[in-house]
Structure 1
Amino acid sequence: MTQTHEARSDRRTTSGRTPGKGTLVGIGSLLVVLTNAVIFILPPLLPVIQAQYGLATVAETTWLYTVLTLGGGAGFILLPRLADLYGDRNANVAAAAFLTAGALVPAVGDSYPTLLVGCALMGFGGAAQVLPLGFLRRGLGEGGIAVAVAVLVIGTGVGIVAGMIGGGLIVQSLSLQSFFVVLTAIGAVTTLASYLLIPHAPPVVRTGSIGVVGTVWMIAWVAAILLTLTQGLVWGNAALIPLVLGVVGGIAWVRVERRSSTAVFDVALMKAPLVTASCICIALFAAVNSAFLLLVSTYAQIIPEALRPVDSYGLGLSALETGWLMLPFAVTFVVGGAIVDRPVNNGRVVPVFVSGAIISAAGLTWLALAHDRPWHYLVGAAIIGLGCSIGYAAGFTLVQLAVPEEKAGMATGVAGTFLAVGFAFGTALVSADLSASLVPVPGTTLEVAAENLYGVGYWLSGALALAVVLTVFVSTTRTRRRTGRIAA
């Protein structure tokens, strides 16, 4: 009790005052909004980036998105753990600084290679979107988990609007390079605010360490597999090389992690009821989310007249108009997270996951059948946003409930890692789908996907949503069998 009291009494800002609830919620919301804005800026800007930097294929363009999420995989593991071991302020300042540096590199370089580097850095700093789960829980005490998850979900919804609409507006009014200059300035302000407002409370007793080697190893084998998914159709048989390296590296990583004293994932946490299933569900909902965004962004910005006489499809929208098309997604994303807190805390997480999955699958089925009019996307976006937010809120809440306060960052890292990998997988899956059959754009060197592949992409995304139902069914069945053996 004495240690706990000492830890709480040290939670002060640089001004020497203990931050109030409003201050903590405010800075937490800023971090969530900014990081999600960075994530959701890219989908509507991919066609702009492809045209400005002369990228020939969809797979080459979407690799930017994959690099962003792969960088996030490392950040989601390392930065929340840094918060547990060295204090929330240090971790959040580091995350915001990486976001700032990631925006600065393409602002200065203004080229495809510098944009790749910038995406990797911004992806790593993107872990700031889940860090409020830790410092809000520690700073607000009882009820902190519910507030933290609400900030995460609502902030994500606002970030979608800020990213997809704000990014399109800036590029439409200025230029792609100017956009990154603005983003650099915002990142610098956020870094300063994190230092001034987030309390610094290092643990009284520091236990464990950060598994840097395991983290880097995991990102390497996941990246190899995703490289096969995104570039496999272009490389042909050569794509088998990174695939084999990724599979072998993953198997070896699992074996080593089981015996490691600094394992990336806490074995005890992953064995808690439904925790592993919740993490898998978070990954599946993230894959649905990224797949949907990529499908909408690419289809909506194709100009039908530009494809004639070879083909004719698309909505011919600008990046800004595509962002407005996603507004219903953001609105229902906020609503969905607000309605699941009570049932999840009452132990009814399985029905919540199933509901989110079915709702998401329904929206994707609608778009698989009807996606050639703007209003089709308005309806589909609203349904999918509701389903995904329900799944996210349920997953992050359950994982936090499974650990004590001093391990809040570690739990955040586990869930966040699955989130990042899910985003990367969804992007890679749709990228491979849209690269299966390409149509040349007359008068240019560009190629776009054949029209029928968009329907296929929505069906594949719907299958990912329904995999959530299978995941929770298998998990609950195994739990019942284990409980039955113990009782016997």
Structure 2
Amino acid sequence: MTETHQPAGLTPEAPSRPAPNKWALIGVAALLVVLTNAVVFVLPPLLPVIQAQYHLATVADTTWVYSVLTLGGGAGFILLPRLADVHGDRNTSVVAAAFLTVGALVPAIGDSYPTLLVGCALMGFGGAAQLLPLGFLRRNLGESGITVGVAVLVIATGVGIVVGMIGGGFIVENLSLRSFFVVLTAACAATTLASYVTIPHAPPAERTRRIGVLGTVWMIAWVAAILLTLTQGLLWGTAALVPLAAGVIGGIAWVRVERTSSSAVFDVAMMKAPLVTASCVCIALFAAVNAAFMLLLSTYAQIAPAALRPADAYGLGLSELNTALVMAPFAAAFLVRGTVLDRALFKGRGVSVFVAGALISAAGLAWLAVAHDRPWHYLVGSAVMGLGCRIGYTAGFTLVQLAVPEEKAGMAAGAAGTFMAVGFALGTALVSGDLSASLVPVSGTDLEVAAEGLYGIGYWLAVILALLVAVTALISRARSNRRAEGAVS
């Protein structure tokens, strides 16, 4: 375990400032995380409505909603946490919430598919606000800041996912798209005001540092190329190899240049600290598992058996709202107190925590691989999956924060968040490919859905992703032990 750093606000040289209201600060942090995650997960139930209202030819056309949201999020995860380090927490939080507000306002006014795509890109960028509490809670709550910040992020993420799914189902049944975006605009505007009023206006954490423009734009470009491949690759076929190759080559070149840059986007020394790179990879894998689980569950649950030929019939025929309720145990598991977990992480047992989270997630997914044709099967699987992901995310974000002083809290959050965005896109792409391997027709329509057997395969693929978390953590520990032995000899 790396040495933890004393928060800058506690050093004798730091200027004194009024202590913020702890619970108000935690409240606005939770609001930012819940809102940003709800925005993402409110969209799946809305895709059929979007297709019908904007007269899109196929469901595939609606995938650009996810693509631009993901691309905007990739840029936001890279840039916003670093802006908080360099230009201050309140300024950056207000800017992020303003992006969410404008992003919701554009489709509310335009009420067209092009304006929806513009709005999703803006909301995707502002959605990186979910990482900002890791910085401003750590910088304002002293020694408990890391623990509280990670707990707020993890718990509010789980709540936001289910709130978004339930909200999407409610909207489909009761509101128009335009009404939804009007309500969302008001909610985001209120969050912007709450951020301005609640988050202290303090001097930037890194007063003498600047963000390298070239390095930042370069990183956004290669990450965007990879994310675009993962979100559109299934539709583009072999043509998707072009942006993938550009992204991988660009990323390798970027790392080499950043090592010698005086204004690096991410400090390479941070990534070399024990377990930091492994933690980021584990976060990506848990995000992939998370995405795979939700896509498999929501797709299977909403297929009506009566709509398929008797030989192909499967599904639960649940509404969007009832599908979200089946997922409620997933969010509930995120509310489990993590006192024992935090104690283990601060005592240097990060690898053990990762392995525990991976095995619990794998157990929940293995259960769903063999039992996924009854609602209660999902209630059990969701609860187990939620507990495993809660453990994994807590370990990942905590260990990355422990590796840096508080003035670089945003940098650490941005690195972890970027890996999370890539992992989520990877899990979605993997399961989308699986569910496209064999299709069966929907009676009376030109639509097709995945063959039933592909769902079990999808869950087993997710089990492999979960087990890779344990492999990654154990390899990292073995390498650290070898380095330590070499240093002693």
Per the TM superposition, whether the score is higher than 0.5 is: yes
1:433–1:222 Cα change, 3 Å: farther
Bigger CA drift: 431-440 or 460-469? Answer: 431-440
Q: CA deviation at 1:95?
A: 0.9
Identity of aligned residues (%): 75
Mapped partners of 2:337, 2:221: distance in 1: 34
2:5 corresponds in structure 1 to none
Q: CA deviation at 1:5?
A: 5.5
TM-score, with structure 1 as normaliser: 0.92
Post-superposition CA distance 1:317-370 (Å, at most 9, x none): 111111101100000122164541111111111111000001111111111112
1:205–1:117 Cα change, 3 Å: closer
Q: CA deviation at 1:301?
A: 1.5
1:209–1:446 Cα change, 3 Å: farther
2:200 corresponds in structure 1 to 199
**Structure 1 position 68 matched with structure 2 position 75:** no
**Structure 1 position 142 matched with structure 2 position 143:** yes
Contiguous gaps of at least 5 residues in structure 1: 13-17
**Structure 1 position 117 matched with structure 2 position 102:** no
Mapping 1:50-61, distance limit 5 Å: 50-53=51-54, 60-61=61-62
In the alignment, residue 27 of structure 1 is paired with which amino acid? Answer: V
Preserved CA contact (<8 Å) 1:78 1:212:
no
In the alignment, residue 325 of structure 2 is paired with which amino acid? Answer: W
Bigger CA drift: 82-91 or 104-113? Answer: 104-113
1:235 corresponds in structure 2 to 236
In the alignment, residue 374 of structure 2 is paired with which amino acid? Answer: R
1:403–1:244 Cα change, 3 Å: closer
Contiguous gaps of at least 5 residues in structure 2: 1-7
1:245 corresponds in structure 2 to 246
Mapped partners of 2:381, 2:27: distance in 1: 31
Mapped partners of 1:452, 1:118: distance in 2: 37
Preserved CA contact (<8 Å) 1:153 1:333:
yes
2:16 corresponds in structure 1 to 9
Q: CA deviation at 1:397?
A: 0.9
Mapped partners of 1:232, 1:197: distance in 2: 42
Preserved CA contact (<8 Å) 2:362 2:463:
yes
**Structure 1 position 395 matched with structure 2 position 402:** no
Q: CA deviation at 1:474?
A: 1.3
Preserved CA contact (<8 Å) 2:96 2:129:
yes
Post-superposition CA distance 1:80-135 (Å, at most 9, x none): 11111111100100110111122222223333333332222112111111211111
Post-superposition CA distance 1:430-478 (Å, at most 9, x none): 2222233333433334332222222222111111111101111111111
Q: CA deviation at 1:157?
A: 2.5
Preserved CA contact (<8 Å) 1:107 1:180:
yes
1:205–1:246 Cα change, 3 Å: closer
Preserved CA contact (<8 Å) 1:233 1:436:
no
In the alignment, residue 16 of structure 2 is paired with which amino acid? Answer: S
Preserved CA contact (<8 Å) 1:44 1:323:
no
Mapping 1:55-454, distance limit 5 Å: 60-203=61-204, 206-308=207-309, 311-335=312-336, 337=338, 339-454=340-455
Q: CA deviation at 1:8?
A: 5.1
1:158–1:227 Cα change, 3 Å: closer
The 3-state SS of whatever aligns with 1:340 is: helix
Bigger CA drift: 426-435 or 214-223? Answer: 214-223
Bigger CA drift: 194-203 or 337-346? Answer: 337-346
1:6–1:57 Cα change, 3 Å: farther
Q: CA deviation at 1:63?
A: 4.4
2:465 corresponds in structure 1 to 464
Q: CA deviation at 1:396?
A: 0.9
The 3-state SS of whatever aligns with 1:448 is: strand
Which 4+ runs in 1 deviate beyond 6 A? none
Q: CA deviation at 1:71?
A: 1.8
The 3-state SS of whatever aligns with 2:373 is: coil
1:452–1:236 Cα change, 3 Å: same
**Structure 1 position 22 matched with structure 2 position 29:** no
Q: CA deviation at 1:169?
A: 1.5
Mapped partners of 1:430, 1:77: distance in 2: 26
Bigger CA drift: 187-196 or 409-418? Answer: 409-418
Q: CA deviation at 1:210?
A: 1.8
Q: CA deviation at 1:167?
A: 2.8
The 3-state SS of whatever aligns with 1:259 is: coil
The CA RMSD over aligned residues, in Å, is 2.4
The 3-state SS of whatever aligns with 2:316 is: coil
The 3-state SS of whatever aligns with 2:43 is: helix
1:339–1:278 Cα change, 3 Å: same
Mapped partners of 1:266, 1:372: distance in 2: 48
Mapped partners of 2:41, 2:205: distance in 1: 38
Preserved CA contact (<8 Å) 1:360 1:387:
yes
Preserved CA contact (<8 Å) 1:157 1:331:
yes
1:15 corresponds in structure 2 to none
Mapping 1:37-56, distance limit 5 Å: 37-53=38-54
Q: CA deviation at 1:158?
A: 2.2
Q: CA deviation at 1:218?
A: 2.9
Mapped partners of 1:222, 1:438: distance in 2: 32
The 3-state SS of whatever aligns with 2:440 is: strand
In the alignment, residue 88 of structure 1 is paired with which amino acid? Answer: D
TM-score, with structure 2 as normaliser: 0.92
In the alignment, residue 92 of structure 1 is paired with which amino acid? Answer: S
Q: CA deviation at 1:278?
A: 0.7
Preserved CA contact (<8 Å) 1:222 1:246:
yes
Preserved CA contact (<8 Å) 1:284 1:467:
yes
Mapped partners of 2:179, 2:242: distance in 1: 39
Mapped partners of 1:3, 1:229: distance in 2: 44
Mapped partners of 1:204, 1:228: distance in 2: 35
Post-superposition CA distance 1:16-73 (Å, at most 9, x none): xx42111111111111111121122233434444454455666544443343233222
Preserved CA contact (<8 Å) 2:165 2:324:
yes
Mapped partners of 2:340, 2:60: distance in 1: 37
1:61–1:310 Cα change, 3 Å: farther
Mapped partners of 1:453, 1:212: distance in 2: 45
Bigger CA drift: 238-247 or 42-51? Answer: 42-51
1:239–1:298 Cα change, 3 Å: same
Mapped partners of 1:7, 1:100: distance in 2: 34
Bigger CA drift: 473-482 or 223-232? Answer: 223-232
Preserved CA contact (<8 Å) 1:154 1:334:
yes
1:36 corresponds in structure 2 to 37
